[in-house]
Amino acid sequence: MGRNGDCDVDRSVDRAMDLFWRRGYTGTSLQDLLDVLSIGSLGFYAAFGSKEQFYLRALERCSALQVEDLVKILEHAAEIRPAVRQVLVAMIEADRADPSRGSGEAGEAGGDGAGPSVAERAVAALCRVESALAGALDRAKSRGDLPSGKDPVELARFLTTFVQGLRVVGRARLGRSFVEDALAVAMRALD
């Protein structure tokens, strides 16, 4: 597997990510991973190191894919409001379609000193989301699509926090009207 390059490693991580999302780190055994990847333990350790290293790589890959999608939408937007709404609705729909996604405990992989902890990686992912939003909001402000009194960084921080709340609400299954009301208030922050 390691000889086939990063593309094969990414595909392997993609196949196994769902286990971590649904079961969490401790709920996913090494044997579960070996079964999903169709490899033996020696091949796993050679390609990925430890289970924790694999978990951290899966978190990083998932974060990168989510931020990449968000950036594509925001960078190609002619108007900021529809783009932000599209991003938020996409996140709501993804969580409504699969409420168990992300329910595994993100912070349960221990820090063995081998690299950034799960919490540090989560913070880095949130910073990338915030940065993408702030950049899009700043461009919108320059075009006159956002009122001059609005601070793009403050709005980006609010929306980043709102997105995390949406994820919790999505898993709690509080209902479409609850989410739509919250989304309407968030969108008014751009006025």
pLDDT of residue 78: 85
pLDDT over 80 at 148, yes or no: yes
The pLDDT tens digits for 151-182 are: 999 999 999 899 888 777 766 667 778 888 98
pLDDT of 16-29, one tens digit each? 887 887 788 888 89
Look at residue 3 and tell me whether its pLDDT is greater than 90. Answer: no
Written in H, E and C, the secondary structure of the chain is: CHHHCHHHHHHHHHHHHHHHHHHHHHHCCHHHHHHHHCCCHHHHHHHHCCHHHHHHHHHHHHHHHHHHHHHHHHHCCCCHHHHHHHHHHHHHHHHHHCCCCCCCCHHHCCCCCCCCCHHHHHHHHHHHHHHHHHHHHHHHHHHCCCCCCCCHHHHHHHHHHHHHHHHHHHHHCCCHHHHHHHHHHHHHCCC
Residue 14: pLDDT over 90: no
Instruction: Please list, in sequence order, all residues whose beta carbon lies within 8 angstroms of the beta carbon of residue 109, skipping any fewer than 6 positions away.
Output: 25, 52, 55, 56, 117, 118
pLDDT tens digit string along 39-59?
A: 899 989 998 888 888 888 888
Tell me what pLDDT residue 2 has.
42
Domain boundaries, the chain: 51-188
pLDDT at residue 5 in the model? 46
Q: Report pLDDT digits (tens) over 85-128.
A: 988 887 777 666 655 555 444 444 544 444 457 777 778 878 88
Q: So what CATH class is 51-188?
A: mainly alpha
